Amino acid sequence: MKSSDVCFLQSMEVEHQDMVGDDATRFALKTELLQRVEALGLQQALFPSDEEPIDAIVQQLEKINSIPQLLHPNHLPTLLGNWQLVYASRGTVVTRQLASIPNFGGTINIKRVWQRLVAGCTRKIFASNGAFLDLPLLGEWRLQADGVWILGADEKTAKVTFDSFSMQATKLFSRESWSFPELKISVLEFFRNQAEWTTSYLDEEIRVGRGATGNLFVFRRE
């Protein structure tokens, strides 16, 4: 066998060992991440908090991410679909506002927060962000924001704009049979705010996104 062939085989073996090592590390990190998030409970995981171990695990996952351009069309089948938000390092738009009200945020029961991504036309993804909340005395309510991602040229970032918001009492006063029609509010184009969103990790089970300020969001496939 030629020396060049031996070198090639050796390099292939090292590369294979690295891939196996990364897969094992990735599995271990994901397992620890999900265990720590579950131990927090959804309420604490989605309100602003200082959870450095979780943030550190996510950063390690981002470093060994095997997909360089996460928003490339080839990876859309993995990206699209229904995701449940399981952790937000600095809370969400809703939970940050609740946390700013003394002794009020703790009385809100967050039952579920989700995001649905659907393919749009060229370089666009339609996004729906929703939550089910139990409000004191008022029962269960559904909040939802609908908008669009405009994918950036780097195939990692997207400009996110929401064009409508809706809310509905699904179990008014906690009664199963009591509900209100959905109230939907469209946002005029002039008033729509645009935010930058980076997808920093993606696989079949977990997705990580970061806002412009570095706030990280961990989603789990539903």
58-99 pLDDT, tens digit per residue, is: 999 999 887 778 999 999 999 999 999 999 998 887 777 666
More confident residue, 136 or 1: 136
Residue 147 bridge partners (DSSP): 127, 162
Of 52-66, 90-104, 130-144, where does mean pLDDT reach its minimum?
A: 90-104
In this structure, what DSSP letter does residue 136 have? Answer: T
Cα distance between residue 221 and residue 102, in whole Å? 33
Q: Counting Cβ atoms within 10 Å, is residue 125 exposed (0-12), middle (13-18) or buried (19+)?
A: buried
Convert the pLDDT of each residue in 157-208 to its tens digit.
999 999 999 988 888 776 766 667 888 989 888 778 889 999 999 999 999 9
Query: Is 60 exceeded by the pLDDT of residue 146?
Result: yes
Residue 134 tokens read as 């139990």
pLDDT top residue among 49 and 41: 41
C-alpha to C-alpha distance for 148 and 39, rounded to whole angstroms: 33
**What local confidence, expressed as pLDDT, does residue 3 receive?**
52
Residue 9: what pLDDT? 36
Report the pLDDT value the prediction gives residue 21, as an integer from 0 to 100.
Answer: 54
For the domain bounded by 3-221, which CATH number is listed?
Answer: 2.40.128
Maximal C-alpha separation, the chain = 79
Domain ranges for the chain: 3-221
Interval 4-30: pLDDT, tens? 443 433 343 333 334 345 888 999 999
Tell me the C-alpha distance between 148 and 4, whole Å: 51
